[in-house]
Structures are given as C-alpha cells and as structure tokens.
Amino acid sequence: MTHAPTTDDSPSTPTGTGQPERSVGDLVRAAVSGWLGTALEFMDFQLYSLAAALVFSELFFANDDPGMAVVGAMATYGVGYIARPVGAWFFGRMGDRIGRRKVLFYTIVIMGLATALIGVLPVYSQVGMLAPALLVVLRLLQGFGAGAEISGAGVMLSEYAPARRRGVIASLVALGTNCGTLFASGIWAILLVAVTEQQLMDWAWRIPFVASALVMVFAVWVRLTLKESPVFEAREDVVEGEALTAADVEAGDAPAEAVRAVEAKSLTFKSVAVAFLLRFGQAGNSGMIQTYLISFITVVLMLNKQLSTEVVIISSLVAFATVPIVGALGDRFGRRTMYGVTSAAALVLVVPCMLAISSGTTWKVIVGYVVIHNVSVMSMASMENLALPEIFGAKNRYQATAVVREIAAIIATGVAPVVAAAWVTAASGSWIPVAVIIAFFSACALFAAIWMKEVAGRDLTDPEPAM
C-alpha cells in the first residue's frame, strides 16, 4: 500500500483526512507532555544507572568481590525490564481502545511514584536481604508504568505532527531522554563534589530519586490539559471516544464505515520484525553505552567517579544538536536512509571509540564516549519514536509500538549489561567484549534499515501496517 505524504505543514492543519484540527498551542502541549514523560523515564534510567555504578553495589548488595557486586546491581536494573512488556501490552491495548491521553496520565503517575520511592528505601546494612527485594519491587513497578510511557509519547506526538515535519517534532521525545539523562547526571555530578563519599553513602544518594517527584507533578499537570490525539478521534472505528471491537461488529452495533477499520489487518510479520530489529539495535546500544560503559569506566578502568558523570553530561549536551538534526534529515531523506547511515557509522566507529575510552586519558575517554553515544544511541532514538508508530496502523498502533519496543528492550537492554559485566570480568577487563556487543546491536539495526520500506510521511489514519 502506498501512502502519499501530507503537503500542508501548518501545525493546525490535520495530518490525515477527516481529522479534527489542533492549534499550535495544542501541538506545543503535546510536545511538552511527551518531553516531560520521556524525561522522567530516562531520568530514572540514568539515576539508577549511575547509582548502580557508584553506590548501589555497596548499599544493596553484600559481596566482597566488587565485580560481582556490580553484576548484582546490573541484574536488578535488568529486572525492571521484566514488567515493561506487561505494562506495554496492558496500557497499549487500553490506549488503542480508550485513547492516548488517559493512558499517558496513568503511566506517568505509576512511573513517577516508583522512582521517588527508591529514595526512601532502607539499605542492606539496615534490613539485610529485604533491601534488594524492595528495590526489585519498585523496579518492577517502574517497568510496568514505563512500558507504555515513551511509546505513548511517541505515538501521541507523531499523530499530532504535520506529516512532513514529524521527524523534527517527534524528535522532542528523544530530547526528553536527553534532558532526563542530563538532569540525573547533573545531580550526581553536584553530589560527588558537594558531599563527602561517606555522606553520599549515608544519605545524599537519596536526593536525586526524591527530587524526581517534582518532574512527575509538572508532567501530570500538563497532561490534565492535553487534548486527545487527532488521529485517534478521526478513526472510523471510534464512537463516543472509544474504539469498537470485533464483538460490536458481530452484534451489528458498528456503523458501516467502521467495519473496514475494525476488520483491517492488525500486524504483518515484516512490520513486527523490522520494528523489533530497529528497536533491538538502539536499545542494546543504549543499555551498553549509557549503563554498562559507565561501570566499565569507574570499576574496570578505575578512573575517577566524577569523570563518569562528566562524560554523560557532555554527551547529553552534544545530543541537543544531534537529535533534531537527525530528525530533520529523516524528514528530508527518509527514515530508511538515516537508519542505514547511523547504524553503519556505529559499526565503523565502535573500535576507535573503545580504544580511546580504554586508554584512560581523560580527553580521549570523553571524545570516545560522546561519539559512540551520539552515533549509536541518540541518532537512532531521534528516528525511533516516530518510525515505529509510522510502521504500524491506526487500529493498534499504541499496543504494537509499545509491545515491540519493550520485548526488544527486555532482551537487549535488560540482558546486555549483565552479559557484558560477566564477559569483561572473565576477559580480565578487556574492552573487546564491549565493542563486539555494540557492533552486534548496530548490525541488527543496519539489517532492518536495508529490509524495511520507507514510512516517512504516510497517512497515520490508515488502519493497516505500512509493510
């Protein structure tokens, strides 16, 4: 099926036939809503990543071997991904049935509360094994809410945006990941300078988690004023704000024009496989670079802990340019081309970047991290938040996007840091296992880019998948 791109770029113009109009203010609120939710999710992501590398291995895991304590901290990080596919299925299905707006309200509250509560947990020295057990419970709750958060934000913003500007506008979701990472890293950087190591271990580590509640409150307020997605409202199978089901059709309760949408093909093997591999490649690189590589720098290379936060901050600042530029190029040249370029570049650059990082020289570590992070993580994230919604049809876009994203993530991001930690330990601290794993994930994204059909600019009201 061929879809002609929309030719009118006005933000207030509907992006598909028969859609209700949305003003520039509505588009801004949708963008801020997606940005805040994604910022909170990735603030949690980076808060835990840095805490696992800097303090959690000592606070929550009693082990005389520092390397194995890091493995335990990374494993608990991975546990959060077990609940994400469940949350993706539950909330994604709900989002396709009752609308995006309501579900995005639920996910932000669940996710935000779980993140803040980590900051009041007792530690191992106080309650023994109950400490890591409670940490696991909150990680599961975080995962349940986060499972449909970034997917919902991407779906909502791509359905709001004009067809030929989706890349730039939807890249704001990826900037949310960047802002969350930067905010979390900034807090940790300040703490490492402002307090002693003993104070950090005693109480200061709690501050970033508790402070995240402020972002949640603001995000909830914005979402209370947000209008529903115009694409959802324009769906032929949506009646009085709720999607009809096959049972409604069989009972004769569906209007004639809604039958096609209800009976449309939900998924195809190619649409699922391409979306899975694109997400698998980006998520795997994200877990390796934003999570494990921080531990590699501090624990394996034994460099200054402050350097680990500095490289993340610098790279996040650079990504403020990388993300919108790649998003705009995706609008100009297509998602397929840009995925191919960025994933191929990641394959070429991984070895020189890891050589620079493993050298231990401060400026080489910073340059190596910034380059590999922006090429293999942030560039792909810029396109992912709109490419996946564009691949799937309006009938089940939210659920399909969320479930594919999270299944790929639990395999890639949840497992890769644990495998890397064990492999590097077995390899006596060599950087080669890290490079091999990053190259593998980049190759998966490159294969998907070659295989996929171009989806930029397609009509998002179409109930069927693009390929």
Q: Where are the alpha helices (DSSP H) in 119-196?
A: 124-127, 130-146, 149-160, 166-194
Q: Considering the domain boundaries, does residue 1 fall inside one?
A: no
Angle at 149 between CA 88 and CA 233, to 5 degrees: 90
pTM value?
0.81
Q: Distances from the Cα of 388 to the Cαs of 23, 355, 398, in angstroms?
A: 25, 33, 10
Domain ranges, residue 180: 24-451
**DSSP bridge pairs for 238:** 243
Comparing CA positions, the residue from 94, 154, 143 lying closest to residue 118 is 143
Which token pair is 195?
């307090």
Terminus-to-terminus CA distance in the chain, angstroms?
Answer: 8
Q: Considering the domain boundaries, does residue 466 fall inside one?
A: no
Q: Considering the domain boundaries, does residue 166 fall inside one?
A: yes
Q: Is 210 left (phi over 0), alpha (psi -120 to 50) or beta?
A: alpha
Q: Considering the domain boundaries, does residue 6 fall inside one?
A: no
Q: Considering the domain boundaries, does residue 230 fall inside one?
A: yes
Quote the CA–CA distance of 293 and 268 in Å, as a whole number.
36
What is the Cα gyration radius of the chain?
22
Q: Considering the domain boundaries, does residue 460 fall inside one?
A: no
Q: Structurally, how many domains does the chain consist of? A: 1
Residue 291: which residues within 8 A CB-CB, separation 6 or more? 45, 49, 52, 74, 77, 413, 417
Quote the CA–CA distance of 70 and 292 in Å, as a whole number.
10
CATH code at position 199: 1.20.1250.20
- Residue whose entry in the numeric block shows the structure tokens 């650059």: 349
User: pLDDT per position in the chain (467 positions), as tens?
Assistant: 333 344 344 444 444 456 777 788 888 888 888 888 888 887 887 788 778 767 877 888 766 566 666 666 667 766 777 888 999 999 999 999 898 999 999 999 999 999 899 999 998 888 888 888 888 889 889 889 988 988 898 899 888 888 788 888 877 777 887 788 778 878 888 888 898 888 988 899 999 999 888 888 998 998 888 888 888 888 777 777 777 666 666 666 666 666 666 666 778 999 999 999 999 999 999 989 988 898 899 888 888 878 887 898 899 899 999 999 999 999 999 999 999 999 999 999 999 999 999 998 999 999 999 999 999 999 999 888 889 999 999 888 999 999 999 899 888 977 888 899 899 989 988 999 999 999 999 999 999 999 999 998 888 988 889 99
Q: Considering the domain boundaries, does residue 108 fall inside one?
A: yes
Which token pair is 164?
């030929």
* Helices then strands, each counted (H, E), the chain: 22, 2
- Residue whose entry in the numeric block shows the structure tokens 């309760």: 253
> Across 44-120, where does the E strand assignment appear?
none
> Residue 10 CB: number of other CB atoms within 10 A?
10
Which token pair is 286?
């994200």
For residue 459, give the DSSP letter: -
For residue 62, give the DSSP letter: -
Specify the pLDDT at position 13. Answer: 41
CB 91 within 8 A of CB 402: yes
Quote the CA–CA distance of 227 and 265 in Å, as a whole number.
28
Q: Considering the domain boundaries, does residue 462 fall inside one?
A: no
Return the H-helix or E-strand segment holding 266. none
Quote the CA–CA distance of 165 and 158 in Å, as a whole number.
9
